[in-house]
Every structure is written in C-alpha cells, then in structure tokens.
Amino acid sequence: MDQDLQDFTDYLSRVAGKSPNTVRSYRADLAGFLHLMHLHGIDDPSQIDLATIRSWLAHEASTHARSTMARKTAALRSFFGWLSRHGRIQTDPTLALSSPKQSEHLPRILTHDQARTLMDTVDQDPVEPREDKKVQAALQVRDAAMLELLYATGMRVAELCGLDLDDVNRHSRTAKVLGKGSKERVLPYGLPADRALGRWLREGRPVLAGSTAKAARKAGQALFLGQLGGRVGQRQVRKVVHQAAGQAGVPDIAPHALRHSAATHMLDGGADLREVQEMLGHSSLRTTQRYTHVSIEQLRARYRQAFPRA
C-alpha cells in the first residue's frame, strides 16, 4: 500500500492542486491508518471495509478534536475514492462514511478600537538606531509592514510569507497572492499599509538583505526577510503577532485572528458578502458567512449595552 499512498500523494499535489499543508496532513493521516492496517495483517486496500475504517476513526476521536477528525475523514474518503476511480479497488468503502459535524464556534477577533491600538503601536517610529542596532530597527519596520498588510488584506500567513517583490504593485496598492489550490487573487490595501510597506522597502529590507552578493542571493526576490536574510517563515510571523499584541495591550491573538478581524470589520462597514469571500479566497460562501454571525453578536452586545429595555 506504500505505492498507493505515494501515487495518491503525487495526484494531490500535481493534479488536484492541493496546498502543501493539505498534502502533508492527508499523507500523515493516511500513513498512520495504513500502518495500523499493516500491523493487523492487511496489506491490500481492497481488504479494508467500512467497519474497519469506522473503528479506526472512533479510536482516533478519543484523542483528537472534531476539526482534526473531519480532516482525517476527508483524507480517507479522498484516498479510497481515488483508488476506486483508478481501478485499484472494486468498491469504495467510504461511500457511506459521513464527516463528523463540527461545532459552530465564532472566530476570535479584535474590536475596531483594539485593531487601531495594535496598528498604532506597531507603526511607532523605532528609536534612532546606532550602528549595532540597525538590524533590530529593520526588524521593527518589517514587523509593522507585515501586520499592516495582514490586517489590510486579510491574507493568510502562508500567502504573506510567499510574497515576492514583484507581487506588490504600490502604484495601484495591490498585492498578488497564491492561495489554496494554487489559486491567484489580487488584494487591494490602503494607505497605512502602503506607508509601512514603503518604509520597509527603503529602510528595512536593504539592511536584512545585507550588502554582499551572498546575502543578496539568499534574500532573492522575497518581499519579507528573516533576521539572517532569507525568506521569513510562518512561525516567525506568528511570533511577531503574539508579541505585538502583548506590547499593545490587546487580547493575545494569532495571525489568523487578523484575517477574521479584517473580514468582520469590512462587513461592519457595509462590504458585500461576495466581495469579502473573494478577498479571503474562500471557495464556499458558507465559510465567509461565519463573519456575519460575528457582526450580529457584536450588534447584540452593543444593543444590550446601549438600549434601555434590552
């Protein structure tokens, strides 16, 4: 079954156009399942039935969240469906397998005032850098540009890290990102983000890229750089957001909360749901509709606070 798994993984990345994160997650889920099947003496996927699959999922559900179980179920359904379509098994055992119902929790967001406080804090001018503090000042300018762009566009962390210099058009104030499923979209951003981005390109990036040819090659065309000159990583961006939230005195958030906040604040300002869907790169409008629930909850809170007979 190792060859089946490898062929399926190749299909996901080369044909189905799944994101690298999805491919890694599906492969890990399936590898764990198939390894257990091998331990039980099953080395042919045609020998696996629905009862066996449900038994494994029930065992996994005791230690994993619903969202994780939904992904594992999707991986199994996709894998066995692919095996069936390619004639590697006669019957797909997952046809009657349903995905676990996920809880409808509202995404965590910042209020308008909290978002303003956060951005005002990160946009503060760094102290006049001494020669030995130039890298630190450059990182501060970079962090401000990254947070402004995340909030202004609602882009994902992976999309931010993947930006190249020519993906940003400062004349039209737009950024071209490569989203899930290798789908491109163009996102507008406003003046505050443009000012922070311009400062990063003028004052910050040249410092981190270095003055040597070797450093320049390491930086390449990446828009945002790490301290050593290479492309910034997702873990570093998450660390920056957490630290910035602490410094600003707002609730501790992850970068995805800035994406949630951007969507909710756009809807609060009168943006059309379809426009927000396109900006976020959601394939389903139902995913975007979560943010209308957030706006309604905020309205209820303001109503209870302000209306005398609430």
**Please, are residues 204 and 260 in contact by the beta-carbon 8 Å criterion?**
no
Select which of 218, 231, 259, 265 is catalytic. Answer: 259
Active site residue 171: no
Q: What is the DSSP string of the chain?
A: -HHHHHHHHHHHHHTS---HHHHHHHHHHHHHHHHHHHHTT---GGG--HHHHHHHHHHHHTTS-HHHHHHHHHHHHHHHHHHHHTTSSSS-TTTTPPPPPPP-PPPP---HHHHHHHHHHHTSPPP---GGGHHHHHHHHHHHHHHHHHHHH---HHHHHT-BGGGEETTTTEEEEE-GGG-EEEEE--HHHHHHHHHIIIIIHHHHH-SSHHHHHHHTTBSSB-TTSSBPPHHHHHHHHHHHHHHHTS----HHHHHHHHHHHHHHTT--HHHHHHHHT-S-HHHHTHHHHHHHHHHHHHHHHH-TT-
Active site residue 300: no
Which positions ≥6 away from 165 have C-beta within 8 Å?
221, 222, 223
Active site residue 156: yes
Active site residue 183: no
Provide the token pair at 81: 């469906």
Nearest to 55 by CA among 101, 97, 1: 97
Q: 174-178 and 184-188: which strand pairing?
A: antiparallel
Select which of 108, 173, 256, 290 is catalytic. Answer: 256
Select which of 156, 199, 205, 231 is catalytic. Answer: 156
Active site residue 242: no
Select which of 180, 185, 195, 242 is catalytic. Answer: 180
Active site residue 256: yes
Residues involved in catalysis: 156, 180, 256, 259, 282, 291
